Structure formats: structure tokens, C-alpha cells
Amino acid sequence: MNHEKVSILGVDFDNKTKEVFLEKLMERVNSQQKTFVVTANPEIVMYANSDAAYMSLLKEADYIAADGIGIVKGAQILETPIVERVAGFDLLTDLLEKANQQGSRVYFLGAKEEVLQQAVQNVQKKYPAIQLVGSRNGYFDFSDSSIIEAVQATQPDMIFVALGFPKQEQWIHQYLNSASKGLLMGVGGSFDVLSGQSKRAPKIFIDLNIEWLYRLIKQPTRLKRMMVLPKFLLEVKREKKKHV
């Protein structure tokens, strides 16, 4: 049986292909519904399990995509398989493609100033019909609500928030409390990739589901962060045992 939602350690993933995600998200953008999208990897799931406030933020998301092969593996272990991995970066570029087709209003929030400016330039060149209504770097006082007002004033249809977790989800939640429309998605280090500053893994790594290995080779300091994956799988196995 194919479940609509797959719960992994308390996080409810949407069991959808990227195509279906995109269709649903665009329906909501076109009917101007507020939408909170999270792309969650094992690191996020483990963090949510150690931080109740962050877990309750995730409960308010409209969609949670399975970002990472670890999540797909976890779902297999629980015998509630997820149809496919939906990488945050892929969802972002597909949404930009749609925004370009429709001339949508897009806002970019996050990353360092020079990274952001380069990302904005590259996006504008590649997707000339997008209305890039504003951008702001990710180094500001997160409690300053005037920033939320300034973003809202530009009336964006889509806002991509690249602050890394948990900050991006916290900011999105605050924004949606007072907004009347907008699709918001946390995109982690994606502006660094859009700017050309950091590179996505070659296709072969992505196809073999070893993008994590490429990242580790490029940036060995990620090892500490990646050690969360075996812990995650162990926790999932424990969870499975509880239910047999």
C-alpha cells in the first residue's frame, strides 16, 4: 500500500514524486494560498527530536519533502516506502522554472551578500521572465519584524529562504503568521550553488544516491555533521522494533 504520509521519528513526510509536489505547490501559488514547504534530511529529523519547539514548527508545514537518501532508507526500514527522494535544490530549480513560465514574483532571502548578488544575477539571466522583487542577505537580526514587513511589501508569490536550519524554518513561521499569501521554502545552501560558489555533485553521484559522498570529499569538515546519519538509521530501527 502506498501511504500519503510517511512518519519517520515524528516527522510526517509527503509521499509524492517531485512532479506531483510541483503540481500541488503551483496550484497553491496560483490560488494565492500561504504555503510552508520543508525539505527535511536526517539531520533535520534528528534535530527536531532534540528540540520540541522545532518539531512543533515542522508540524505546521504544509508539505515536507524527503530530502536525502537517508530518509528514503528510513522509510524502507519502517516498511512504509517513499516513492522517491526529492532534493531541495531540484525542487527549487523546478519552481524557478515555473516562476519563469508564469512571470511570478520571487524574493531571495539569505546567504552572504556577494553570494546572494551573484545568485540573483545568475537566476535573472537564466530565468528572464521571473520578477525578482527583492533580495536580502541572511545576516540580520531575526527578531526584527520590520524585515518581514519589508519583504511582504514586495508582494512575493514565492520566497526562498537560505539561512540553514533551524533559522530558515523559524523565520518562515514568523513570516506566515502575518502574511496573506506566499509560498515559502527553506533552501539551505542552495544560493551558494546558484551563485556558482559551491558545486552540486556530478550527475553520476546523484544517480547513484551518493551525493553525500561527493560533499564529504569536497568538504571533509562535514564529517561531524554526517555522523548523524548512522545515528538516525539506528533510531529508525529502534522505532521499527517498537511496532513489531
**Interaction site with ligand UDP (CB under 6 A):** 110-112, 138-139, 162-165, 167, 188-189, 191-192
Smallest gap, in angstroms, from Cβ of residue 116 to ligand UDP?
8
DSSP 68: S
Smallest gap, in angstroms, from Cβ of residue 62 to ligand UDP?
20
Cβ nearer to ligand UDP, comparing 109 with 132: 109
Residue number of the CB closest to ligand UDP reads 138
Number of Cβ within 10 Å of residue 50's Cβ equals: 8
Distance separating alpha carbons of residues 47 and 55, to the nearest angstrom = 8
* The three cell numbers locating residue 66: 524527503
Phi, psi (degrees; rounded to nearest 5) at 193 = -75, -45
Smallest gap, in angstroms, from Cβ of residue 165 to ligand UDP?
6
- DSSP run (H or E) holding 5: strand 5-8
Distance separating alpha carbons of residues 187 and 140, to the nearest angstrom = 17
Task: Name the nearest CA neighbour of 84 among 10, 15, 169.
Answer: 15
Cβ nearer to ligand UDP, comparing 81 with 189: 189
Smallest gap, in angstroms, from Cβ of residue 188 to ligand UDP?
2
Cβ nearer to ligand UDP, comparing 35 with 190: 190
Helix, strand, or coil (residue 35): strand
- DSSP run (H or E) holding 186: strand 183-186
Cβ nearer to ligand UDP, comparing 26 with 168: 168
Smallest gap, in angstroms, from Cβ of residue 32 to ligand UDP?
27
Contact yes or no for 88/66 (Cβ under 8 A) = no
Smallest gap, in angstroms, from Cβ of residue 162 to ligand UDP?
5
Cβ nearer to ligand UDP, comparing 81 with 164: 164
Contact yes or no for 172/184 (Cβ under 8 A) = yes
DSSP 85: -
Cβ nearer to ligand UDP, comparing 111 with 133: 111
